[in-house]
Amino acid sequence: MFPSTTRILLVDDMSTERRISELHLKQLGFTTFFEAPNGAVAYDSLCSQLEAGKPIELVICDWNMPVLDGLELLRKIRASASFNGLPFLMLTGNEDAPQIIKALKSGANNYIVKPATAESFDKKLKEIWAKIHP
C-alpha cells in the first residue's frame, strides 16, 4: 500500500469534494495533501513541487472541471517524461462504461465512481499499488 507520507494532489473544482476526499484519505492514515481546483493549476503544482525536490507521488482527480478537465490533465501527465509514471486515480460521477474505458486507455491507473468512500479509496489504492509494485 502507499505509505502514509505519500504526497497526494487532490484535483477537483469543488472545494467540498476535495475536503471529503481528504477526510476519507486521512481515515486511511494519509497525511500530506496538496489541492488544485482544475487541471491547469494541478499541472503547475506538479511542476513546482518537482522543482522544489518534493514531487507529488499520487494524483486523485475529478473528471469534470473547467479550464483543464481530468482527462486532459491525465493525457498531459502521460505525455510528460517527468510525470508519465505518476499514479493517477480518476474520480467520476459517471458510471458510463465507455467513459471509464476512455480514462483507463488514456493511462488512469484506476477510477472511482462518486460518491467515494474511505473503503473505495482503500480498495482502489491497494489495486494501484499492487499493479505498480508487483
Task: Specify the pLDDT at position 94.
Answer: 82
| Nearest residue to 93 via CA among 1, 36, 17, 15 | 17
pLDDT by residue for the chain (134 residues), tens digit each?
999 999 999 999 999 999 999 999 999 999 999 999 999 999 999 999 999 999 999 999 999 999 999 999 999 999 999 999 999 999 998 888 888 899 999 999 999 999 999 999 999 999 999 999 98
Domains recognised in the chain with CATH numbers: 7-132 (3.40.50.2300)
Task: Specify the pLDDT at position 127.
Answer: 98
Task: Specify the pLDDT at position 62.
Answer: 96
